[in-house]
Structure formats: C-alpha cells, structure tokens
A and B are shown apart, each in its own frame.
Chain A
C-alpha cells in the first residue's frame, strides 16, 4: 500500500477558478502535513504546512486536514497561469506523494 497517494492528473482549470488538490495517507499516527509546489525543472518549494484538523488559509491557498479520514487537501482560489506546476503532498515531511500536475488555462 502506498503511504501517500495523490491523483497524478493532469488537472486543468480555467483562470480564476478554484483548483482542488487531494491527498490521502496511510499512517494514522501522522502529525505533520505539507504541500510543496514544483515547477518544471525546479526544486520543490513549500507552500503550506498544517498540523491540526480543519482549515488553514494563506492568501489564495487553503489547506484542509481531516485526520479521521486520513485526508489532506489544497485549494487554490482565483487560479492563475503562474500556478501551473506539480503539487506534492508530504506527510511527516519525508514521505511524498507522486504529485498532481495542475494546468491553469488563460
């Protein structure tokens, strides 16, 4: 069983729409959850971290965590073409999902 699972996509949304990225994990004892963005040919960069159940908002980004369902998501409001990248979910910061490729079309 994969430890961290993401839909590989590609996920395509129009500019200005909400992009929803999902991630499930297998280790029920996980405490920390991270979303990274990786542009093509670049290294991953941290977008959000979340440690408690519920929502955490930072600008256009909202992370949602549900430990009972072992589920963490990332919402991107008012998506921009510059948001086009691969988004990596990480659990306990060393176990990564395969990433979801997002394309925002102008």
Chain B
C-alpha cells in the first residue's frame, strides 16, 4: 500500500477514444504530479498541482488535460492520443511547504497505457 492509488492499472484505447486516469492520495499531501515514463527515457514531468492550482505544465500536448478537484484527487483526461503516447503514467504526491527545498514524492503504481 503506497498511499497513492491509481486506476486503472492497465488501459488499452484507440486513437479516437476518450478516457480518464484517476489518482487518489491518502497521505494528507497538498501537491500532486503526473509523470510519463517511457522505456529507456527519464521520467517526464507533465503537470504539477499545488494546493489545487496548476503550477507547472511542461509543454504537454493539449490531448492531455489534467484536473484536480481537491488536494486528494487528480485526473488525467485523454483524448485523441497517438501511438507514441503509449507509456506508464505515474501519479505522485508530496507535501509542498512553500520552501525552496522540495520534499520527496510518493508514487502510485502507475497506469500502463497502450494506444492502438
């Protein structure tokens, strides 16, 4: 039990489908993150939410749309994805104390996404 739960664990979708990834954290943290992990590439930061406000968007294509309704939940809405979007999508949370020194993150188990 990591304290960060992601659903679904696996998702196969066509390029014209619309789906959503869900993340829930039970750690009382106030910051949540979406990462993309592709084979042999570094973890790519996609979005950061702190206190439910988006504070970072790393030039992610608009076919990925995040939503953070409260500090415990984070969604990633997917629409018209491309085959190169197939990857492991990881959610993480941390306690943002507003200082320059960042706090470590706790990761969910990820959603393995395959685009047909």
Which residues B74-116 have CB closer than 8 A to chain A? Answer: 90, 94, 100-110
Residues in B whose Cβ lies below 8 Å from that of A98: 40-42
Classify the interface of chain A: helix, strand, loop or mixed. Answer: loop
In the assembled complex, the Cα of A2 lies from the Cα of B102 at a distance in Å of 20
Contact A32–B102 (Cβ < 8 Å): yes
Residues in A whose Cβ lies below 8 Å from that of B106: 46
Contact A93–B42 (Cβ < 8 Å): no
Q: Which of A13-21, A37-45, A57-65, A66-74 contacts B (4 or more CB under 8 A)?
A: A37-45
Listed residue (A44, A45, A92) with the most chain B CB atoms within 10 angstroms of its CB: A44
Listed residue (B41, B105, B109) with the most chain A CB atoms within 10 angstroms of its CB: B105
Contact B33–A32 (Cβ < 8 Å): no
Check if B59 is an interface residue, CB within 8 A of chain A: no
Given contacts A4-B42, A88-B43, A99-B42, contact A31 B107 (CB under 8 A): no
Other 9 A-B pairs with CB < 8 A, given A46-B104, A99-B42: A4-B42, A42-B109, A43-B110, A44-B90, A49-B104, A51-B101, A93-B104, A96-B42, A96-B43
- Residues of chain A touching chain B, judged by Cβ–Cβ distance below 8 Å, are 2, 4, 8, 31-32, 34, 42-46, 49, 51, 88, 92-99
